[in-house]
């Protein structure tokens, strides 16, 4: 019988196999040693193929089972194309040769995304397994902004407060730290690095309980922090952390390390982004101050290519599988460059002489809002055009919020929700601390 279960689950990963087997313990417990070779016949009577369900909801599944031996039990679940369950498997004892049962499968997680999923019914008579599959379409719950976390600028002397603003505008202290370097967020965690002493720490949202992911061996001064880059990539959801010793490490949302790469000798990473099947970074040599664009294989971290670069990066954005958009500074002014990550070709799209770039956020396909010292502008990649949105105000932090279509911008101690089409502000919040980073937490 174990061989049959393994054959059925061969397309699934080890974790999914373990979940199936754990949820169907009662199936294995009753295995018989007779020569029964006939598997139960399983039929999903409802819902029908292509059934639409909107999260949150509960699907009532009707299943008919029949066999020439006693059907011991039935297990039902809904999984994605990779076999990862999106519902808790439900085990139902049968104890008859035939039966029709109704089983409720709740779909309540707001993490479920739009897509087609497989409803699976698996029955056993103790010696053989029968199954039935049905495709259904799941529509995600509406995206909601649960809270905004605001961090002060990196490198300031502590104590430093991370402020949480909830969905109705109430403010509270999330955590107080001695030092803050980099910041990042995923659907479950807020990540913070120290500068001179404190480690890379993962804080659970909303409880604030924490665990250290990577120690800080200490540096000579806050001006040379051990952690040099921190970001959660929107492509794969992994946390990428770079350190002064040249390592770039990737962490799963669970906290386990899943990726390690080395920057070129004598260099460390300043920024990173997933581009196709590569991790692309920008590095600086600690002695020569030479900057390079470096690509690594996504799985092993092996160095693929490196090309000279003269831009101090503010933000990296993937354009397609071979190109990255670099927004940053050179010689005291802002620069926007398109770079071929495989051949090194550079197209300098825009320069802003004497006007340094402070922050950037993507607000749509090929559209970016950029915080300059002189104000806020919108850059369109397709037309290579720049439009001024706000003049005279320097925005040190930006974060796009797709629900309203606005951009949260931080200027001094002020937080504004800005329309990226015309620069008008629909919300304005004054904080007690300067804004250094804006981290938006959604329901998924």
Whether 259 and 305 have beta carbons less than 8 Å apart is answered as no
Q: Is the pLDDT of residue 31 over 60?
A: no
DSSP string over 48-101:
PTTEEEESSEEEEEEEEEEEEEEEEEEEEEEE-TTS-BSS--EEEEEEEEEEEE
Does a structural domain hold residue 72? yes
Closest CA to 389 of 419, 412, 366, 367: 419
Residue 212 belongs to a domain: no
Q: Residue 410 carries which DSSP code?
A: E
CA of 225: how far to CAs of 37, 266, 294, 334, in Å?
Answer: 66, 16, 21, 24
Question: In the predicted model, is pLDDT for residue 21 greater than 90?
Answer: no
- pLDDT above 90 (res 426): yes
Is residue 326 in a domain?
Answer: yes
Quick one: pLDDT at residue 34? Answer: 54
Average pLDDT (69-78) is 95
Q: Answer yes or no: do 304 and 382 share one domain.
A: no
Q: Judge if 324 and 301 occupy the same domain.
A: yes
Q: Is the same domain home to 377 and 281?
A: no
* This model's pTM is above 0.75: yes
What is d(CA 1, CA 36) in angstroms, rounded to the nearest whole number?
11
DSSP conformation class of 25: H
Instruction: Classify residue 211: in a domain, yes or no.
Output: no
Do 87 and 164 belong together in one domain? no
Write out the DSSP string of 168-187. TS-EEEEEEES----EEE-S
Q: Please compute the mean of the pLDDT values over residues 67-87 and round it to a whole number.
A: 93
Beta bridge partner(s), residue 240: 231, 250
Confidence of residue 4 (pLDDT cuts 50, 70, 90): very low
Last residue of a domain, one of 300, 317, 350: 350
**Is 156 found in the same domain as 122?**
no
Confidence at residue 22, expressed as pLDDT on a 0 to 100 scale: 39
Least confident interval from 56-60, 137-141, 219-223, 324-328? 219-223
What's residue 8's pLDDT?
Answer: 31
Instruction: Note down the domain range covering 326.
Output: 240-350
Q: Are residues 135 and 42 in the same domain?
A: yes
The residue among 348, 342, 378 whose CA lies nearest residue 363 is 378
CATH of the domain at 82: 2.60.40.2550
Residue 423: both structure tokens together: 């620069």
* Average of per-residue pLDDT across 174-194: 95
Which of 113-117, 205-209, 404-408 is least confident? 205-209
- Average pLDDT on 9-24 reads 40
In this prediction, residue 18 carries a pLDDT of: 39
Structure tokens, 65:
């089972």
- Domain end among 350, 380, 399: 350
Cα 258 from Cα 117, distance rounded (Å): 27
- 249-291 per-position pLDDT tens digit: 999 988 899 999 999 999 999 999 999 999 999 999 999 999 9
The reply to whether 321 and 398 lie within a common domain is no
**For the segment 89-128, what is each residue's pLDDT rounded down to a tens digit?**
999 999 999 999 999 999 999 889 999 999 999 999 999 9
What is the average pLDDT value for the chain, to the nearest integer?
A: 90
């Amino acid at each position: 019988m174990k061989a049959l279960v393994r054959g059925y689950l061969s397309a699934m990963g080890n974790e999914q196999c373990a979940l199936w087997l754990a949820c169907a313990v009662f199936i294995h417990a009753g295995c018989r040693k007779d020569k029964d070779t006939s598997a139960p016949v399983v039929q999903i009577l409802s819902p029908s193929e292509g059934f639409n369900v909107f999260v949150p909801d509960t699907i009532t599944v009707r299943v008919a089972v029949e066999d020439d031996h006693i059907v011991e039990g039935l297990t039902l679940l809904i999984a994605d194309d990779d076999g990862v369950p999106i519902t808790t498997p439900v085990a139902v004892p049968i104890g008859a040769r035939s039966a029709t049962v109704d089983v409720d499968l709740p779909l309540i997680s707001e993490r479920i995304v739009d897509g087609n999923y497989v409803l699976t019914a698996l029955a056993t008579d103790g010696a053989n397994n029968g199954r039935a599959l049905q495709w259904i379409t799941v529509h995600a719950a509406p995206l909601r902004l649960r809270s905004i976390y605001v961090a002060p600028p990196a490198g300031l002397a502590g104590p430093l407060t991370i402020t949480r603003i909830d969905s109705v505008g109430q403010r509270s202290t999330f955590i107080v730290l001695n030092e803050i370097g980099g910041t990042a967020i995923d659907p479950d965690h807020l990540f913070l690095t120290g500068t001179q002493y404190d480690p890379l720490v993962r804080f659970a949202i909303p409880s604030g309980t924490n665990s250290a992911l990577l120690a800080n061996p200490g540096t000579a001064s806050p001006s040379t922090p051990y952690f040099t880059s921190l970001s959660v990539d929107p492509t794969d959801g992994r946390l990428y952390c770079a350190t002064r010793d040249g390592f770039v490490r990737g962490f799963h949302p669970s906290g386990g390390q899943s990726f390690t790469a080395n920057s070129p000798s004598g260099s460390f990473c300043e920024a990173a982004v997933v581009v196709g099947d590569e991790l692309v970074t920008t590095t600086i040599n600690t002695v020569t101050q030479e900057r390079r664009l470096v690509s690594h294989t996504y799985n092993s971290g092996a160095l693929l290519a490196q090309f000279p670069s003269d831009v101090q990066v503010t933000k990296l954005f993937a354009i397609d599988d071979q190109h990255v958009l670099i927004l940053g500074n050179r010689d005291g002014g802002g620069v926007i460059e398109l770079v071929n990550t495989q051949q090194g070709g550079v197209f300098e799209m825009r320069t802003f002489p004497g006007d340094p770039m402070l922050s950037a956020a993507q607000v749509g396909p090929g559209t970016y809002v950029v915080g300059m010292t002189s104000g806020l502008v919108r850059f369109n990649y397709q037309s290579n055009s720049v439009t001024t949105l706000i003049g005279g105000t320097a925005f040190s932090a930006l974060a796009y919020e797709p629900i309203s279509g606005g951009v949260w911008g931080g200027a001094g101690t002020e937080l504004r929700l800005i329309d990226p089409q015309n620069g008008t502000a629909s919300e304005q919040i004054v904080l007690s601390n300067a804004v250094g980073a804006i981290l938006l937490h959604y329901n998924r």
